[in-house]
Structure 1
């Protein structure tokens, strides 16, 4: 049985040299083996040591042994990914992971990093977005390519099902890590993976394909809204001028505010926060009208004729890279 990750990578016009986000788990192991086989000498493995569980040192040792066997350099970043009070531990770990992967990539001359997220991960992401009442951006799921912290991240396995990767791992007896936290039902993603996806498969056997189609449709609509928002941003400026914002209909105002907050500050307001901000902008007809509202992890504040966003949470930083 051929590695399905290799089949997915083969037609890719890969930007070499390439970093592989490598946790040691089954999915990233399949991706690393495929990339090392296709592009020998052009691949580096990037491992994030989260420090969240006692086995983290053993995970790193396993990854080092695998990389030595494959002839792939291993770059390790250690980070404190503990979450702040009231913050989702999953979101905190995700943010710390991207910051650390990007720092590792930049430190070792890599402009591109491949992630092992697959079709099942895409479905889980969409279901989480639905559960949070997300808009089109959330329903579009994970993009195949994105840029964060100065590095291009790619997801070449989004059309590959998890079962195909696990079957190859099992049949080829490829060593990998089974992270015990993946069975912890305290985490939303684990509950979806272990409880909801099997029920979906029994009820809607083609759900992965239909969800992927819905994600593509949502992504197209989201891109169109982004184009409208970019045009409105060009008129309003960044930070935006209140006078320009007040000329927009409410839905276009909501669209451009979401675009500004996400693009400029990586901040995603809740529906209640956005509605409150829209109301405040609509009421802001005098210079004396103050605006200071909690939005995402920071707050939006009026400063003269401008609207500004300030981060109340210090950025995640990798503790050590090597």
Structure 2
């Protein structure tokens, strides 16, 4: 059973002060208003201007006006969110957004920020799981989005993961709080939008409790993901960073795949496709001579052999 915005924020216990990633949309608007009311004078906002659509300047102006009304300090960050070859536009924008939040949470205000809150909600979680299933993802993908994690020395939170989109908008309307609508949210060319507009209403009819049951499945996958990460960290200590090819060959294929995914993500921020990883494993298995070369496309770069080790570079 999903909960209300008020209940979620009352249960939210971040280390203060708190940065809210504020786009101006309904979800981040609810998050900003609720947090500013609960912790007056201890909440800051960062708006990332991607420059990818004509309405971006309108979003920025709206965010400035709202933050002035709430007496919440606002930092606006302009980024070039264009994607590279091998990246999806959504992935590129997400990476730029996270990088901007990390940099400006530390630099934009008078005191260091300890916590950052993001506004993803229960429907976003379901959409993420369905996208992962459609791509044949493993437990890492099915774990979807965590409610709390640490990155770059900061605590990150998603306090609204238990609240569905309809409840968020109802909460805003009751209080006559305005927000901006991103016109791309209605664009059916985006798979996530088709899931939101077409698939979720059907799930609501057939499985009314699907948000809760999907959430439980996500929690089970997250537990399995943590176990695989622990194993990958142990194996990485054994094979080295960067990985020694002969040491990799001593592991089972499953453990090789697990440690390689971990190494690529942790050290190079890329996730190989199933086909890329399978080819990389094949090449590692065949690598028994000094002249054997490895050069496989992974994400927007290449996994390569460097002497007796495996390297990765972005040309």
**Which among 132, 137, 159 is matched to residue 134 of structure 1?**
137
Q: Is the 8 A contact 2:87 2:300 kept in 1?
A: no
Deviations 1:203-261 (A, max 9, x none): 11111001100000001111111111111111111111111101001111111111111
Per the TM alignment, residue 85 of structure 1 is displaced from its structure 2 partner at its CA by 5.1
1:148 deviates by: 4.1
CA deviations over 1:260-318 (Å, ceiling 9, x no partner):
11111111000111010111111111222111111111111111111111124xxxxxx
Moved more, 106-115 or 242-251: 106-115
Confirm whether residue 172 of structure 1 aligns to residue 175 of structure 2.
Answer: yes
Match of 2:55 in 1: 55
Q: TM-score, normalised by structure 1?
A: 0.93
Q: Please, what is the CA RMSD of the aligned residues?
A: 1.5
- 2:164 aligned to which of 156, 161, 164: 161
CA–CA distance in structure 1, aligned partners of residues 265 and 55 of structure 2 = 35
Structure 2 CA distance for aligned equivalents of residues 151 and 80 of structure 1: 23
CA distance in 2, matches of 1:151, 1:16: 11
| 1:71 equivalent in structure 2 | 71
**Is 1:24–1:177's contact at 8 Å kept on the other side of the alignment?**
yes
1:26-68 Cα distance to aligned partner (Å, 9 max, x none): 1111100110011111000110111112221111111111111
Contact 2:22 2:45 in 1 (8 A): yes
Specify the alignment match of 2:262 in structure 1. 259
- Secondary structure of 1:294's partner? strand
Shift, 1:137, TM fit: 0.4
Give 1:309's aligned residue: 312
How far apart are the structure 1 equivalents of 2:145 and 2:156?
A: 11
What TM-score results when the alignment is normalised by the length of structure 2?
0.95
Deviating 4+ runs (over 6 angstroms): none
Structure 1 residue matching 2:11: 3-state secondary structure: coil
State how many pairs are aligned. 310
Of 82-91 and 268-277, the range deviating more from structure 2: 82-91
Structure 2 residue aligned with 1:287, among 270, 290, 306? 290
